Amino acid sequence: MVKVNFKKLNENAKVPTYGSPYSAGADLYALTNGETITFQPNETKIIHTGIAMEIPEGYAGLIYARSGIANKRGLAPSNKVGVVDSDYRGEIMVSLHNHSDKVQEISDFERIAQMVITPFLKVDYTEVEELTDTERGEGGFGSTGKK
């Protein structure tokens, strides 16, 4: 298990939690200071969590939608997947977008997204004249078939 230090920037902030012992992502909670945040259809707003993290070097925090509010209410991260770098020490915030055609609301301590802490490879991009050949080659979207 990797240790990730966090700091409450607001005493009312909730610590990220896992929904089950095998959850990959930890739930992030809205901190609205008692207010209800209203989203019009196709509107995007930044939601505070009130926490900052110290993600270890070589890891990133990936912020994904929670399937419940994304599928049932149309609220999901506007950038699809947020990336929190290991050198960022500011507040973790979630840019939520209302993809539905109905007004939606978020209130204090509602689970708004999930964060997966994951290792990544840092690469050295090297320009070459030719790339190695593969069976797929330059076949792009859909080139490997449907079934």
74, amino acid identity? G
* pLDDT surpasses 90 at 146: no
In the chain, DSSP finds a helix count (H) and a strand count (E) of 1, 11
pLDDT at residue 147, as a whole number: 80
Report pLDDT digits (tens) over 28-72. Answer: 999 999 999 999 999 999 999 999 999 999 999 999 999 999 999
* pLDDT surpasses 90 at 21: yes
- What is the reported pTM? 0.89
Domains and CATH numbers, the chain: 5-119 (2.70.40.10)
Rama region for 69: left / alpha / beta (φ>0; ψ in -120 to 50; rest): alpha
pLDDT at residue 135, as a whole number: 85
* pLDDT surpasses 80 at 11: yes
Tell the residue number behind the tokens 């969590």, with chain if given. 49
pLDDT at residue 129, as a whole number: 97
